[in-house]
Amino acid sequence: MMDEPTAWLREVWDADERSARAIDSASVILTIGDTVRGSIPPEDSKFRSLIDPTDLLARIDAERRILDVHRPVRVRSTGDLGEDFIERCSMCDQFPAQYPCSTVRLIAWGYRHRPGYREEWRP
């Protein structure tokens, strides 16, 4: 199990990307876990749009880029916690400083039903 939401999110996205790239554009196969549950014919655009691999890959790309911007940095502590250095977000200016920041926690929140999500990451 991953201790950091960023490492966990990147593993989730890697797995989702592999699944999306494996989808045959002619017939979308529905799976739950590793079990095939059915397929959606090409003419059924209403449901295809919900799981279009192109959309999924675009969302994964956007979320990876957000995570790249909201990366952890070590800074000298100015507080009374007795620590010389603390970790904070390179982008957010939260007080008290913390990492993961609210943005990273909110991204992870969208995947809270996936195996490995931890309550301590809750926004």
Binding site for Zn ion (CB under 5 A): 70, 89, 91-92, 101, 103
Closest distance between Zn ion and the C-beta of residue 68, in Å? 11
With residues binned 3-state (H G I as helix, E B as strand, rest as coil), the percentages for the chain, rounded to 5, are 40, 15, 40
| Secondary structure E strands in the chain | 28-32, 35-40, 72-76, 85-89
- N-terminal to C-terminal alpha carbon distance within the chain: 19
If the CB atoms of residues 21 and 71 are measured against Zn ion, the closer one turns out to be 71
Closest distance between Zn ion and the C-beta of residue 106, in Å? 10
Closest distance between Zn ion and the C-beta of residue 76, in Å? 19
